[in-house]
Structure 1
């Protein structure tokens, strides 16, 4: 393998990203381009050639850094909708502001920020640095599982993250220590920081399990990621874990995880976020076929009193606004009967 030396100054000057925040850059000894076939999670140094849709890069500390042409950035490869990890180090795109690179399969309505990879980071032995190297391990002994509440939705933009943050806030007020996890989706800090700001003691996501994203991940990988993140949160001593699943029930990986009995056995309650009453009814019905304990409906439909009433009739479940979830009475009522 042909390796180019990588100076400390060059690494420090490059704009690091959220998805690479766990990477120990002191282990980077060089760059390689020779006979390289990138894999999901591989860490790369790239140059921005044209700023497009993603004008900002989420830094490891949460700051949104402006991107400029010719910037050098530290990213990782990851699968993404309408984009995939390429089999070479040819030009690619920034597909998530959290620092995920892939090659777009077809152009959308907006041009993505264009990149030229300069090489994959390697250690002294020539091993490519991959996020898996710094993935959390399953705690030993395995801790008792805390009350685990899941928020999923009927699609994107239904209000899942807002509902998760509100529930965390309410549980805090009710006297619970809360941990939170985003199990499916793409490595981005914006959702995890919202949950931390709401009062979660610890927030983890798929990058803590060594994944840049869960798109096209196998079902065993999804189950392991879920179990690992919940176990790691349990080890911190929290009484309740709030789990958010990205995109919603129709999304392939999220739907597959929801449907597996291994997931259902580790979940105490599920809230469904939806845009409208019909969507809520359909989503709840689907979850019930998977023997999941659905305990309520929330999301954008709660903006309309009429729509909320229709959803309550269709599902025979309480419809909870953000104000309800932020309240200690409602939030506590969702967790206290389940507390071990």
Structure 2
């Protein structure tokens, strides 16, 4: 009996396909190429996110549909597209991103990645490999910067992965809703998984979107032009609800490739009205603000994990003059009075 294919979230748009087994022996994949894999051993990922946005348990012998991609996650995995045909591949992200593991956080060294065997590529009626990014290419808009003039755009960035920027963004959304403003949320970069935009929606966002909506298994190693076009596209998607505010989260820390690329792009930053910087401790908060100033960005306010500690907040307040908000204060709308400040240094 043929095994049921467990389709991951990134492959949600793949409907009619056949499997080309021969291409598995000859084709080096591009980001977004869809394939079927057999689960060999279970490592870090014991579940994948399905097309129904449900966490599905996987066991050895299962067949999953996923897409090749990359990952940059300092607290988890670093992984890339294969440079040669391999016997084994790895789940890099639960949303369906598969590649070759390059490094992992020490906490996963013993567990390792979940290991897969490539069965074959999913192909269309013309025997072309189905690619999630190409499937959505008709939706992509060229960057113009005009969309940001229709709403106020707030950028949520952080010192590193797990510094609190997603929580900051979600509670900021909640604060806007509690003060009766229509709000949208965009997760602009990262590895596909809907958790962050789902949280923002649960916290009151009128509309949410992320890069996975247009077929990106990951944004790691994307070209700068591609990132700008992605921003334009997602902003247009959420603008249909006519939001007063759009909160945008960029993944990982400000030293990460795509984050730094966007923060130093004047065309992108020209459309940003305010920056909320999240940090895990007092040192990263203070030095993060100085690093942003070196990028000619004046952050609007601070939040993040360090605000859970009154002592850490006091250390920061003694060294930085910016407003500092706990997540409770963000939900109460306390940040509203500082969101109009300019983020650029004057010449």
Q: TM-score of the superposition, structure 1-length normalised? A: 0.89
The question of whether the paired residues in 1 share the 8 Å contact of 2:7 and 2:65 is answered with yes
The question of whether the paired residues in 2 share the 8 Å contact of 1:240 and 1:335 is answered with no
Q: Distance in 1 between matches of 2:285 and 2:54?
A: 35
SS at match of 2:64: strand
Q: Which residue of structure 1 lines up, in the alignment, with residue 136 of structure 2?
A: 134
User: Counterparts of 1:1-340 in structure 2 under 5 Å?
Assistant: 13-21=4-12, 23-26=13-16, 28-34=17-23, 35-81=26-72, 82-86=78-82, 87-88=84-85, 90-105=87-102, 109=109, 110-132=111-133, 133-135=135-137, 136-138=139-141, 143=147, 144-328=149-333, 330-335=334-339
Relative to structure 1, the CA distance from residue 217 to residue 137 in structure 2 (aligned partners, 3 Å threshold; closer, same or farther) is closer
Relative to structure 1, the CA distance from residue 111 to residue 59 in structure 2 (aligned partners, 3 Å threshold; closer, same or farther) is same
Over residues 9-30 of structure 1, what are the superposed CA-to-partner deviations in whole Å (9 max), with x where a residue is unaligned? Answer: 86xx311112222x2313x243
Relative to structure 1, the CA distance from residue 190 to residue 111 in structure 2 (aligned partners, 3 Å threshold; closer, same or farther) is same
The question of whether the paired residues in 1 share the 8 Å contact of 2:141 and 2:229 is answered with no
The question of whether the paired residues in 2 share the 8 Å contact of 1:139 and 1:235 is answered with no
The question of whether the paired residues in 2 share the 8 Å contact of 1:57 and 1:98 is answered with yes
CA RMSD of aligned residues (A): 2.3
- Count how many residue pairs are aligned between Structure 1 and Structure 2: 326
Over residues 88-145 of structure 1, what are the superposed CA-to-partner deviations in whole Å (9 max), with x where a residue is unaligned? Answer: 3632011111111001235761311110111111110122111121253339996553
Q: Distance in 2 between matches of 1:334 and 1:127?
A: 52
The question of whether the paired residues in 2 share the 8 Å contact of 1:185 and 1:213 is answered with yes
Relative to structure 1, the CA distance from residue 119 to residue 263 in structure 2 (aligned partners, 3 Å threshold; closer, same or farther) is same
| Range with greater deviation from structure 2 (132-141 or 233-242) | 132-141
Please state how far the C-alpha of 1:312 moved relative to its aligned partner: 2.5
Q: Distance in 2 between matches of 1:322 and 1:61?
A: 30
Q: Distance in 1 between matches of 2:295 and 2:261?
A: 11
The question of whether the paired residues in 2 share the 8 Å contact of 1:89 and 1:119 is answered with no
Please state how far the C-alpha of 1:224 moved relative to its aligned partner: 1.9
Which 5+ residue runs of structure 1 have no aligned equivalent? 1-8
Shift >6 Å, 4+ stretches: 139-142
Relative to structure 1, the CA distance from residue 140 to residue 219 in structure 2 (aligned partners, 3 Å threshold; closer, same or farther) is closer
Please state how far the C-alpha of 1:163 moved relative to its aligned partner: 0.9
The question of whether the paired residues in 1 share the 8 Å contact of 2:143 and 2:228 is answered with no
SS at match of 1:320: coil
Q: Distance in 2 between matches of 1:336 and 1:62?
A: 36
Q: Distance in 2 between matches of 1:288 and 1:56?
A: 41
SS at match of 2:196: helix
The question of whether the paired residues in 2 share the 8 Å contact of 1:169 and 1:198 is answered with yes
